Structures are given as structure tokens and as C-alpha cells.
Amino acid sequence: MAQPAPLYDLVVLLDSEVSEDQRTKVLGDAEKIVTKGGEIVSDQDWGLRALAYEIRHKGTAQYHLLQFHAPPEALAQLDRMLHIADGVVRYRIIKLKPGTPPPPSAQPPAEGEPEVEYAPPPEAAAEAEAEPDAETAPTA
């Protein structure tokens, strides 16, 4: 039986001082590369955020998250394109393990809606129950 295509996260930090057209071009090029051999699962614009530390004398960046399925060839093309593209401050491509929870939304929950909390997968909960805590384990 064929393995399902792995799911990847691409987080891109785009220069906030670059024109909107340039940022749109970089994201469009990334989407074209992914859709040639794969599919986009989720596309989230997290907006302008402060960086934890300055990168190339910049304190803010436009954050963007793209989740996708793609073959290794597309990953190599995507990595090359993002490495040489103008306006990209940082990027990271991560292969997600099966069962990874969905990314948090960049928007706060609407008034009256409860916040969605992360629940570990059932096998992780079973493992946690099987291992006794150091505080409750009997000592010899």
C-alpha cells in the first residue's frame, strides 16, 4: 500500500519594508512550485509581528504559513527560490509527523467562542497514564 504524501509546514518571514507586490510575488511563486507536483492544504497570513531579535537590522516581519504535500523535487526548488528571493527575511520548511495538531489561528477567537486547546493524540495520553509520576511512585 502506498504511503500518503508527507505534510510540510513552510513558515516565511517577509520583509515588512518591501512592497506588497514583491511579497505577493514571493508567495505566488512558492504556491506555483508546490502545486506543480503537490497540493496546498492550508494558507494562513499571520500578519505583521515583532521579531524576537533583529534580523538584518529589522525588528518586524510579515509572517506567512503554508501547509502542503509535495515531492522532494518541489522542496528543493522551493528552498532554492526562497534562498535567492528578494524580500525573504527567513524561512523554514518542516516535515510534520502524522497526528500533529493543526496550526493555531492567527486571529483571536470571536467573542463567545471558547479557545481551542491542544489535546494530545490518544496514544500519547495512554503512554502518560502508563508511566507513573516520580512524585506518586512508591519508593523502596
Residues in the chain: 140
Tens of pLDDT, residue by residue over 102-123, are 777 655 445 554 544 444 455 5
- Are 61 and 49 a contacting pair, CB within 8 Å? yes
In a domain, 133, yes or no: no
* Count of domains forming the chain: 1
Least trusted range by pLDDT, from 67-71, 103-107, 128-132: 128-132
Strands (DSSP E) contained in 70-140 are: 88-95
Q: What is the CATH number of the domain that holds 47?
A: 3.30.70.60
Query: pTM score, two decimals?
Result: 0.68
Environment class of residue 98 by beta-carbon count within 10 Å: exposed (0-12), middle (13-18) or buried (19+)?
A: exposed
In a domain, 106, yes or no: no
In a domain, 47, yes or no: yes
